[in-house]
Amino acid sequence: MYSFNNDYSEGAHPRILETMIHTNLEQNNGYSMDSHTAHAIALIKKEIGREDADIHCIVGGTQTNALVIDAALRPHQAVICACTGHINVHETGAIEATGHKVIAMESPDGKVTTEMIQKALDWHSDEHMVQPKMVYISNTTEIGTQYSKAELETLSQYCRQHGLYLFMDGARLAAALTSPINDLTAADIARLTDVFYFGGTKNGALFGEALVILHPDLKSDFRFLIKQHGAMLAKGWLLGIQFETLFTDGLYYELGSHANAMAAILKKGIEDLGYTFTSDSHSNQLFPIFPDHVIDELAKDFLFSANGRIDETHSSVRLVTSWATKESAVHEFLQKLGALTV
């Protein structure tokens, strides 16, 4: 049984593990006040060309999203996102638990547009309604799509004109930045958003998201919020070690590239067999439509998740590749799919 279920099914990239082994008996200051974290932060600042950024390494994505939104918004303020946004559907109301409404807008491709934001602003006109103050986007999105530079420029400009913070969830930022259709750099993202993160969990770390805060208003007292959210890791250098490894010699991008390359092979193979997809993805998540009996057969050898019923006899599934995906497994999948396809 081989798993294409997600991009966090294996441990860490061996280089990360090695650094952890070598440093295991070092005595380090706790709570991310250690030299590894300082080094990781320096590397990330260099990567984005922004010495003024505040950078914090956090254990997980849901935690990071709740933290950022809680820190940024006053009690009556709300965050706009696509209806498919992770904060809207897959975080068990973590944002609402901090007191804030998620304004979820219909979106065919998982992306947010200025039209959607304008609509949300139009609907929220006075003090009887929440006040939209932040826009949350994911790159890549939850359905594998991604933002072009032009799209992000437009969003950014719009948000700045309307006093909205722009927050990019980068849980799969490595996949986005190394996608063949990408034209954004990390520096662009730092320039165009107010806060974003480099996801580690889904790109070869044991865990960890490197949060980059650009907007001065969002920086203040952030460590208090981290602690209050139970997100301040005692042995914080474990996060530092992982990000200093990922941002040394381009490992972060190398791992994202591998995941995308595996997905590209998978995608071409599936297309060649005549199947279509529910989402136009050029990254490490694919959403092919298969006949139900084909899915049943594939499920005997491969782990993946159901995504939705298409018609009486067809469904879509989600296939995810990662830094650890073996090319041989991809070929085995395609071979089996070929055999099942008449």
String of DSSP letters for 164-209: -EEEEE-TTHHHHHTSTT----HHHHHHH-SEEEEE-GGGTSSS-E
Q: How many residues bind its own copies (CB under 8 A)?
A: 77
State which residue, 47 or 54, has the beta carbon closest to its own copies.
Answer: 54
Residue 319 lies near its own copies (rule: CB under 8 A): no
Among 99, 108, 250, 338, binds its own copies (CB under 8 A): 99
Question: Binding marks (x or -) toward its own copies, 212..241, rule CB under 8 A?
Answer: ---------x-xxxxxxxxxxxxx--x---
Q: Which two three-digit tokens encode residue 198?
A: 């480099």
> Which residues 124-183 are close enough to bind its own copies by CB under 8 A?
127-131
Residue 214 Cβ vs its own copies, minimum distance, rounded to whole Å: 19
317 binds its own copies (CB under 8 A): no
Which residue, 18 or 271, has its beta carbon nearer to its own copies? 18
- Give DSSP secondary structure letters for 44-110: HHHHHT-TT-EEEEES-HHHHHHHHHHHH--TTEEEEEETT-HHHHSSTTHHHHTT--EEEE--SSS
The answer to whether 294 touches 182, Cβ cutoff 8 Å, is: no
* Distance in Å, CB of 259 to its own copies, minimum: 15
Minimum CB distance to its own copies, residue 59 (Å):
6
Tokens matching residue 108? 């065919």
Side-chain-facing half-sphere of 327: CA atoms under 13 Å: 5
18 φ/ψ angles, rounded to the nearest 5 degrees: -60, -45
**Minimum distance of its own copies from residue 180's CB (angstroms):** 26
Name the minimum Å distance from CB 60 to its own copies: 6
- The answer to whether 3 and 302 are in contact (CB under 8 A) is yes
Instruction: Candidates 50, 63, 114, 340: give the one binding its own copies (CB under 8 A).
Output: 63
Closest CA to 73 of 24, 20, 31, 132: 132
Token pair, residue 270, equals 């599936």
Nearer to its own copies, 23 or 341 (CB): 23
The residue among 148 and 220 lying less far from its own copies, judged by its C-beta, is: 220
Interface mask (CB under 8 A) for its own copies, residues 19-58, using x and -?
A: -xx-xxxxxxxxx---------------------------
Spatial distance between the Cα atoms of 329 and 262, rounded to a whole number of angstroms: 10
Element (DSSP H or E) covering residue 319: strand 314-320
Nearer to its own copies, 76 or 331 (CB): 76
Q: ∠139-171-221 over CA atoms, to 5°?
A: 105
Minimum CB separation from its own copies for residue 258, in Å?
14
Q: How far is the CB of 100 from its own copies (least distance, A)?
A: 6
* b/e per residue 14-43 (b: at least 16 CB within 10 A): ebbeebbeeeeeeebeeebebebbbbbbeb
Q: Scan residues 102-121 and list those touching its own copies (CB under 8 A).
A: 102
Residue from the set 40, 71, 186, 320 that interacts with its own copies by CB under 8 A? 71
Residue 31 C-beta: closest distance to its own copies, Å: 8
C-beta neighbour count of 191 within 10 angstroms: 16
Q: Which of 55, 56, 82, 91 binds its own copies (CB under 8 A)?
A: 91
- The footprint of its own copies on residues 247-306 (CB under 8 A) is 303
